[in-house]
Structure 1
Amino acid sequence: MLIKRLVVQLPRGLQARHTTIFVHKANSFKSEIVLAKNGKTTNGKNIMGIMDLFIQNGDEITLMVDGVDEHCAKETLSRFLLNISCIDIS
């Protein structure tokens, strides 16, 4: 299991559009993905669960990834949350 704490750097945080993109990216991996904020956790592949975390720009969250492709999943999802990679849904 890989764990990474990071500060979200997405304009308007994980609102509907960014959450949809995040879930699409998360579902492309076989690994289990979990997001946590302020002690509350959710499945990183569940759009409603992520929306319930109310993740805003500047919030500190924890990304937990466990599975066969965990290194690639952690890197890809971290880069997205840190707004390092360009946003696309392909």
Structure 2
Amino acid sequence: MIEKTATIASRVGLHARPASIFADAAGDLDAEVTIARLGEPVEEAVGADSMLALMSLGIEHGEVVVLRTDDDSVADALDALVLILETDHDA
């Protein structure tokens, strides 16, 4: 399993706009990627390609999340997803 962490940079957290941008990018991958708060059990992670699931997490500015995938072929793509989360889309 590949894991990457990211700190949410958008000032109002992972709300509609950043969640949509992130979910669209995750949905373009040919692998399943999940997201959860750092420290939460793997079972509580949600699909990164679902905007509604992302918003249901209620993740706020400054929180750290973990992205996970079992597909080694998308390891580099996870870096791009981290960059999306660590960009302030509310600026």
Aligned partners of 1:17, 1:7: CA distance in 2, in Å? Answer: 16
Matching residue's letter, 1:13: G
Give the TM-score of the pair, scaled to structure 2: 0.81
Matching residue's letter, 1:43: G
Structure 1: state its 5+ residue gaps. Answer: none
CA drift at 1:56: 1.1
Give the secondary structure class of the aligned counterpart of 1:50: helix
Please list every run of at least 4 consecutive aligned residues from structure 1 whose deviation after the TM superposition is greater than 6 angstroms.
none
1:14 paired to 2:22? no
**Pairwise mapping of residues 1-90 of structure 1 onto structure 2 (< 5 A)?**
1-37=1-37, 39=40, 40-67=44-71, 69-83=73-87
Matching residue's letter, 2:33: I
Aligned partners of 1:5, 1:83: CA distance in 2, in Å? Answer: 14
Contact between 1:8 and 1:82, CA under 8 Å: does it hold in 2?
yes
**Paired-residue identity, %:** 24
Measured on the aligned residues, the alpha-carbon RMSD in Å equals 1.8
Q: Which has the higher strand share?
A: 1
Q: Which has the higher helix share?
A: 2
Greater RCO, 1 or 2 (C-alpha within 8 Å, sep 6+): 2
Count of residues paired in the alignment: 85
Give the TM-score of the pair, scaled to structure 1: 0.81
CA drift at 1:43: 0.6
Deviation string for 1:23-62 (max 9, x for gaps)? 1111111111100125231011111111111111101111
